[in-house]
Structure 1
Amino acid sequence: MLSVICPIYNEEKYIRQCIESLLSQDYPKDDLEIIFVDGMSKDETRSIVAEYSQRYPFIYLLDNPHKIVPYAMNIGIQASKGDIIIRLDAHANYQNDYFSALTKRLMELNADNVGVVCKTDVLNKNAKTLAIREVLGNKFGVGNSTFRTGVNKVMKVDTVPFGCWRRDVFERYGLYNVRLERNQDIELNKRIHSGGGKIYIVPDTYCTYLARETFHAIAKNNYGNGKWNILTVFFTKQLKSLSLRHFIPLLFLLSLIIPPILSLLYSPFIIITYIAFFSYTFLLGGISANLAHKKHLKFCYLLASFITLHISYGWGSLVGICKLPFLKQ
């Protein structure tokens, strides 16, 4: 029995095509339940899911009054009946062998968690969104995560997007940490890894994540990611909950802010800011120009995407640090 859990909130733009990709799965429907856990959506998300649940008895809709993802996952896990549990995201589409490939590898590898590459795409394709898509799949934009850059063989890793677990993993390592609005998957996987569990990424199939399509939406999302990098460390009391790459945008932003302040005491400090700014601009300008030439994309949109991504992420981390004195463990 396979239980598929998908947290949702105001996903009317994406939910229908997500469900259609789940209905196309080659996994036997008699051994499948799909549980959508809704954070009390204010758009048409609930009615769309309800429409499908009336037509397909293995689709369920549960309420998540707490709204955030870790609560949704815990509600879904506790309500589910499956021997195997898969977590999904409504902002994504899934290849029709997604369920069968993950469950097969979970058993073959005797793994605690299995995942696949998550490719990035956009729903509406134009010059700006195609540039955003490129940056969100580029190692200079989002780092060198294996699940973003791709694999051609089975690999042991520290984390994977979403996940496919045996039910007893949650009995051994615990449920999702409800204090974490972001990074909850990374933290759970770090907990599994630290406890001796085995996590693999496999090349058998993939999912396609549909990215946000405006600079404002990208900035808002990555501001939250950056802020919760800091708060995750605070709430878990473990720096190893995250990797060094999660803090590079913060370090870059600090290199622009701190030296000018220190230069009030000793003027040569301002040189550090000049070096950081011009090095960053030269590097990203060169990368953007190369991508624009090779992939026929707009240079200005590429450069703006990189800058928006990095600055909003770093600013979120800085705000997270500023919040720490006002938080309670």
Structure 2
Amino acid sequence: MNSPLHSAAPSAPQLISVIAPCRNERAAIDAFCDSALAQQLPPGWQLEVLVADGRSDDGTRERLAERAAQDARLKLIDNPDRIVSTGLNAALAAARGAVIARFDIHTEFAPDYLAECLAALARTGADNVGGPWVARGQGATGRAIAAAFQCRWVVGGARSRDRAYEGEADTLYLGCWPRAVFERFGGFDEQLVRNQDDEHNLRLRLQGARLWQSARIRSVYQPRSRLSDLFRQQQQYGYWRPFVMRKHGQPGSVRQLVPALFVLALAGGALLAPWWPWPLGVLLASYALYLAGTSLAAARQAGEWGLLARLPLVIAAYHLGYGVGTWRGLTDLLLKRRAGQHWSRLTR
């Protein structure tokens, strides 16, 4: 594949297109626009930012229209189906850039984020590049959620959370692609409400594409700030995992199956408890020790020992939410039931 980074004459500016889906994000939309439009591009590059709004009814759409009227680089795209995958594809269809970068409304991007993406594409020849997924929470619970999110003992050693990792990856946070990648491999699967990014990265890898994570590509993500919101989010991520597995015959990685296996073991232990209580007791005791050790590790890594009281519940919400969601998704898949609103409505 010829790189778009070297295909134009020096006097002809090249365009990089940022695509971002959103719905009902009035509180966050101005900060996002400020961060996206403040990108400092290398000489010869120009920027367009396409935000696909899912029929917001909280003032987001009107504010986006106001911002677009003030800056011609910002464009409002309609997303009538209101989910992330259709929004990404709608923005992708309208994008004119030789390079496409996905942004997230709840992420703050370093001013050189896109410049480093372009440099990584040119340096590595990869089909998709991205930076580490770094979280910074608000409030005590939000900070605990971010601390658990960043801890390798919670997320199974996922390289996407490693701030220092530089090299090939199995999946990436957000992403930046030469446009030809979408022409070759297609866009995002609109049957998936969640996990459409993981599925797209898996599809690329299975067909021989290369993914590259660079520590120089810097951004900060704001996770949920309430335990109930985190649990619902993880349920949805887990719910849509079996649909990705059905499509490709395998998960993106083995670690994505662990929460479901843990929930299965809990259910099996509970059923056996009236006759053999010890398996459930051993499992619960082992998990309690794991929560204690992992909470200590997460608090130490975050440098906030005051989070220790919250971290066990936060870590359990990650695992149980994802595991329960996976089994519900598998059940609906096997019974050929359509996903209900609880599993299809995006929440924040």
Report the Cα distance in structure 1 between the residues aligned to 2:214 and 2:248, rounded to whole angstroms. Answer: 31
Query: Equivalent residue of 2:40, what SS?
Result: coil
Shift of 1:291: 4.6
What's 1:148 paired with? 161
The answer on 1:137 being equivalent to 2:144 is no
Once the two structures are superposed, residues 78-103 of structure 1 have per-residue CA deviations (whole angstroms, 9 ceiling, x without a partner) of: 11110000011101010000011101
Query: Is 1:252 matched up with 2:262?
Result: yes
Q: 1:292 & 1:237 partners in 2: Cα distance?
A: 37
Could you say which residue in structure 1 is the equivalent of 2:100? 85
| Letter in structure 2 aligned against 1:238 | G
Q: CA deviation at 1:287?
A: 2.7
CA deviations 1:31-64 (Å, max 9, x no partner) are 2110000111121211221121011001000111
Deviations 1:133-174 (A, max 9, x none): 211211232232212122243x01121111110111111111
Instruction: Kindly indicate whether the alpha-carbon contact (under 8 Å) linking 1:291 and 1:297 is maintained by their aligned counterparts in 2.
Output: no
- Provide the residue aligned with 2:4 in structure 1: none
What SS does the aligned partner of 2:135 have? Answer: strand
Using the size of structure 1 for normalisation, the TM-score is 0.92
d(CA) in 1 for partners of 2:143, 2:88 = 32
Are positions 1:229 and 2:245 aligned together?
no
Moved more, 140-149 or 223-232: 140-149
* Cα drift, residue 325 of structure 1: 2.9
What residue in structure 1 maps to residue 309 of structure 2?
300
Deviation (angstroms), 1:262:
4.2
Q: Distance in 1 between matches of 2:324 and 2:123?
A: 43
Q: Aligned partners of 1:46, 1:26: CA distance in 2, in Å?
A: 26
Counterpart of 2:250 in structure 1 is: 239
Residues in 2 aligned to 1:183 and 1:327: alpha-carbon distance in whole angstroms: 19
Which residue number corresponds to residue 283 of structure 1? 290
**Corresponding residue for 2:12?**
none
Match of 1:15 in 2: 29
What is the CA distance between 1:231 and its match in structure 2? 2.5
Of 125, 133, 156, which residue of structure 2 is paired with 1:118?
133
Within the alignment, does 1:180 sit opposite 2:180 as a pair?
Answer: no
- The answer (yes or no) to whether the contact 1:113–1:200 under 8 Å persists in 2 is yes
Q: Tell me, what secondary structure is at the counterpart of 2:122?
A: helix
1 CA distance for matches of 2:220 and 2:316?
Answer: 24
Q: State whether residues 141 and 227 of structure 2, in contact with CA within 8 Å, keep that contact through their aligned partners in structure 1.
A: no
The letter for the 1-side match of 2:96 is: K
Q: 1:207 aligns with which of 219, 223, 232?
A: 219
Q: How many residues align?
A: 321
Residue type of the alignment partner of 1:15:
I
1:316 partner amino acid:
G
Normalised by the length of structure 2, the TM-score is: 0.87
Tell me the equivalent position of 1:33: 48
Aligned counterparts of 1:59 and 1:188: Cα–Cα separation in 2: 26
Displacement after TM superposition at 1:261 (Å): 2.2
User: Displaced runs of 4+ in structure 1, greater than 3 A?
Assistant: 289-294
Local SS of the residue matching 1:7: strand
- Match in the other structure for 1:104: 119
Q: What runs of 5+ residues in structure 2 fail to find an aligned partner?
A: 1-14, 339-348
One-letter code of the match for 1:137? Q
| Cα 1:157/1:290, change in 2 over 3 Å | closer
Match of 1:6 in 2: 20
Residues 199 and 30 of structure 1: CA distance in aligned 2, closer, same or farther (over 3 Å): closer
- Work out the percentage of aligned pairs sharing the same amino acid: 29
Distance across 2 between alignment mates of 1:259 and 1:214: 30
For 1:143 and 1:149, locate their aligned partners in 2 and report how far apart those are by CA, in whole Å.
12
In 2, distance between residues paired with 1:184 and 1:151?
A: 25
What residue in structure 1 maps to residue 172 of structure 2?
A: 160
Offset at residue 13 of structure 1 (A): 2.1
